[in-house]
Amino acid sequence: MARRLFRIGGWAALVAAVLAAATAVTAGVFGVLALTGKAAYPVDYSAGPLHFRDALTVQVVTASPVCQEFDIRRLLPNEYPGNGDFCYKLVQDGGEQIIHDGVVSQEESIRPTEAMLTGEVRLATTGGWNSWVAAQVVKNVVIGAVITTWLLLLWRLLAASAAGDAFSSRTVRLLRALGWLTIAAALLAPALDHFTGAHQVGGLHFASYGEPVLEPVGTEGYPGGVGLAQVALGVLVLLVAEIFRHGAEIEDERRLTV
């Protein structure tokens, strides 16, 4: 039963690896077409049952205070009594509210004071060379290659386990490769964000006017922003590899004894 599950998991990992590789290659092809002026973003391509969609996005953030007093009869932010700045109308659900002449106020031990909203802005291109677009294409291809490699290693590991070769030097090598690749991916992600950002390659600038003001989210810099949880997962896989190495040594001794 366990071998059957390993076999099914291995095939699932292989299929996922093929899809990840196909997505990375397709993204690279359409990226080259866009940079040479033969296509444009967003990409929306269908071929029979297959569908590929890709878009360029920029993460943005906006933050504004939450009104502790506002007139519910007025809709324009600049007409709030006693507050000439933009603010969000939000009160704690279930809290004690005081409404007098249409003005809502709330004085509770827990109340909203500031809201920070994050999201993404989708970009469209007319085709042709742009350094930032080129950097994003390279970034997407690299990420796709890392994911494909990780899935292929997982496929080989599960295939070895399904063949009854769980405690072997081959399994140990695969586990070590998975662990180191997981750690490398955690270090690579912020590096890609940093070195493919608009502040590094240029070609992309924004100016926001009026309310709300949308500010592009800057990267934390490198080596900041490394996913410590992912690094810890990679270290855990390496520790498991050492356990399997010990198990492989015991298995070799047992075979020699027999």
3-state SS string over 68-128? CEEECCCCCHHHCCCCCCCCECCCCCCCCEEEECCEEEECCCCCCCEEEEEEEEEECCCCC
pLDDT of residue 84: 46
pLDDT of residue 222: 65
* Phi, psi angle pair for 132, to nearest 5°: -70, -40
pTM summary value: 0.81
* Phi, psi angle pair for 193, to nearest 5°: -60, -40
Q: Which amino acid is at 236?
A: L
Q: Is the peptide bond before 112 cis (omega within 30 degrees of 0)?
A: no
pLDDT of residue 164: 79
pLDDT of residue 81: 44
Residue extents of the structural domains in the chain? 2-56+125-257, 67-112
Evaluate whether 129 touches 121 at the Cβ level (below 8 Å).
Answer: no
| CA distance linking residue 206 with residue 214, whole number of Å | 9
Residues in Cβ contact with 43 at an 8 Å cutoff, skipping those fewer than 6 apart: 30, 34, 52, 53, 54, 55
pLDDT per residue rounded down to tens, the chain (258 residues): 778 898 999 999 999 999 999 999 999 999 999 999 999 999 998 888 888 899 999 889 998 888 877 776 664 445 444 444 577 877 776 555 566 676 777 667 777 888 999 999 999 999 899 999 999 999 999 999 999 999 999 999 999 988 877 788 889 999 999 999 999 999 999 888 888 887 777 767 888 887 778 888 876 566 667 888 999 999 999 999 999 888 877 766 766 665
